[in-house]
Amino acid sequence: MGQLGNKVALITGSGRGQGLVAAQRFASEGAKIVINDLDAESVEAAVAAVKNAGGEAVGAVGDVSKAADVQAVLQTAQEVCGGFDILYNNAGIGYSATQRFGIAMSDIVNCTEDDWRRILDINVGGIFLFCKYGIPKLIERGGGVIINTASIAALRGAQDAHAYTASKGAILALTRAIAVTYGPKGIRANTLCPGVIDTEMIHDTLISEKNISDLLARNTPLQRNGTPQDVADVALFLASDQSRFVTGEAFAVDGGIIQHIGLA
Ligand SMILES: NC(=O)c1ccc[n+]([C@@H]2O[C@H](COP(=O)([O-])OP(=O)(O)OC[C@H]3O[C@@H](n4cnc5c(N)ncnc54)[C@H](O)[C@@H]3O)[C@@H](O)[C@H]2O)c1
């Protein structure tokens, strides 16, 4: 039956990257997955990838920063899967994803007002909307699990991507408050703080530049950069009953890079 047998997991931004790999991992443990992303093409491909591996998935296209889209995604989960048990708020932008989102990785002085609002709107606003409309559904069901993706940028200062950093810090604080408020209703909420993870978000800027990629790996105690699989296994732990007494916590999945005193 697997660790997530009979569970339904709604994963935002799961058309690619960490969300897609988590969808595949959760499905391999028996969960039915609601795949959400911005465009139909990536959603369809992700649903097919899960199904081709023998899993169950349904697609729900939608922008996490738009209330009507979020309600439609939740409606799909309700109508097709009878609700959901795991809400994994993974969608995010703002750390250099220049090709697709046209957002610069700026410090606060160079960050445009538009970029600031857009990044906060998607990264924190998306979690606000999914929790605002999703938590009552989890409570009706007798409880559930929320996993919110922040970043190591929420735990340590970096030189740039300040809007992103602000959004990830907000996610960390909000998740703690959600855990405190809704724990008595049977909801656990934890934050994932990925480190350097090779996905499209950072591939062209940090990973494919060999000198940068090597510098980061060399300064990581575990001596490599991360993969979406590294994150998905921790997400699985947080989604499953293995973590039944864990809530309000933040989990860095970073090979130990934030423990390092300085890059050399
Ligand atoms: N890759 C890293 O090194 C790293 C490090 C720390 C945190 N993170 C966080 O991990 C999460 C997953 O990122 P990833 O590494 O898989 O990057 P990614 O860019 O490959 O994936 C992000 C996904 O979110 C989707 N998305 C973006 N805006 C959306 C919106 N408004 N509505 C719905 N979907 C939307 C994208 O289409 C994409 O499929 C993000 O929250 C990111 O900030 C990534």
Instruction: Tell me how far apart the alpha carbons of residues 250 and 221 are, in angstroms, rounded to a whole number.
Output: 19
Spatial separation of the C-alpha atoms in residues 208 and 222, rounded to whole Å: 20
State how far the Cα of 59 lies from the Cα of 88, in Å rounded to an integer: 15
CA of 17 to the centre of ligand 1 (A): 7
Counting ligand 1 atoms within 8 A of each CB, the residue from 36, 69, 192, 199 with the most, and so the one to mutate, is: 199
Active-site pick, 88, 95, 133, 164: 164
Q: What percent of the chain is predicted at pLDDT more than 70?
A: 96
Q: CB of 18 closer than 6 A to ligand 1? A: yes
pLDDT in tens, 163-176: 999 999 999 999 99
* Cβ–Cβ < 8 Å for 3, 26: no
Ligand 1 closest atom vs CA 91: 24
User: Is the CB of residue 219 less than 8 Å from the CB of residue 195?
Assistant: no
Does the pLDDT value for residue 100 go beyond 60? no
Kindly list the domain boundaries of the chain, sorted by start residue.
Answer: 8-259
User: Which is it for the CA torsion 109, 96, 25, 86, positive or negative?
Assistant: positive
| Out of 9-23, 147-161, 177-191, 227-241, least confident range | 147-161
Q: Is residue 174 in contact with ligand 1, taking CB distance under 6 Å? A: no
Spatial distance between the Cα atoms of 141 and 263, rounded to a whole number of angstroms: 47
Is 164 in the active site? yes
Residue 159: per-residue pLDDT: 79
The rounded mean pLDDT for the chain is 94
Whole-number pLDDT of residue 209: 85
**Calpha distance 219→255 (Å, rounded):** 10
Strands 8-11 and 86-89: parallel
- According to the per-residue pLDDT averaged within each range, which of 194-203, 207-216, 241-250 is highest? 241-250
Ligand 1 atom nearest to 150, measured from its CA = 7
Ligand 1 mutation pick, 93, 99, 115, max ligand atoms within 8 A of CB: 93
User: 130 and 70 in contact (C-beta within 8 Å)?
Assistant: yes
Which of 18, 21, 103, 152 for a ligand 1 pocket mutation test, highest count of atoms within 8 Å of Cβ? 18
pLDDT band at residue 98 using 50, 70 and 90 as cut-offs: low
Q: Over 90: is that where the pLDDT of 103 sits?
A: no
Q: Mean pLDDT, to the nearest integer, of 133-142?
A: 98
Cβ-based neighbours of 150, under 8 Å, separated by 6 or more: 168, 169, 171, 172, 175, 191, 192, 193, 250
Residue 106 is predicted with a pLDDT of 83
Instruction: Report the top-level CATH class of 8-259.
Output: alpha beta
- Evaluate: CB of 55 within 6 angstroms of ligand 1: no
Joined together, the tokens standing for residue 82 give: 């009878």
Is the minimum distance from the CB of 196 to ligand 1 under 6 angstroms?
yes
The answer to whether the CB of 19 is under 6 A from ligand 1 is: yes
- pTM of the full structure: 0.97
